[in-house]
Amino acid sequence: MISLTDHLANLLRSKSIGLATVIAIADALAANARYNLWFYDTVKPQDESIVMAKLDENERLTDACIAAIEKFNLATTGKYDKDSSPKNLQDLEAALQTFAKDITKAMVVAP
């Protein structure tokens, strides 16, 4: 299985994306990195049930982002470097922005 980071790196290699998509990819990468650092510093020492809940939440958010990337790839005939319609790019950018926002919101451990 390809990781979210690998999917995002492959998108960055695309010749058919614009600056707005590059920015959305960078935001998603940064948010994912911040979450991972936060998880290991804050959540890992917590009770196992909290750790498992956060792992499940992260998996759900990551899977949704990967699904959006794969949908974009299918819409562009499965290749990163094919021309894509503005609608496909807008959908991808929206999904990346949603991921960055939601993964950032997830960085909370309820008492």
Residue ranges per structural domain of the chain = 4-105
Helix (H, G, I), strand (E, B), or coil: what is residue 77?
coil
Quote the pLDDT of residue 15. 78
Can you read off the two tokens belonging to residue 90?
Answer: 């807008």
Q: What pLDDT does 26 receive? A: 97
User: Measured between alpha carbons, how far is 40 from 67 in angstroms, rounded to an integer?
Assistant: 25
Nearest-CA neighbor of 24 among 84, 99, 81, 76?
99
The residue with tokens 């994912």 is 32
- Read off the amino acid at residue 105: K
Nearest Cα residue to 106 out of 68, 69, 60? 60
The whole-number pLDDT of residue 18 equals 87
65-98 pLDDT per residue, tens:
999 998 887 776 555 445 556 678 889 999 999 9
Contact between 21 and 12 under an 8 Å Cβ cutoff? The reply is: no
| Span 5-46, pLDDT tens digits | 999 999 998 877 889 999 999 999 999 999 999 999 999 888
| DSSP 8-state secondary structure symbol assigned to residue 66 | H
The pTM for the full model equals 0.85
- Alpha-carbon distance of 82 to 78, in angstroms, equals 8
Q: Please tell me the predicted confidence (pLDDT) of residue 80.
A: 47
pLDDT number for residue 104? 96
Check residue 86 and give its pLDDT: 64
Q: Is the pLDDT of residue 101 over 90?
A: yes
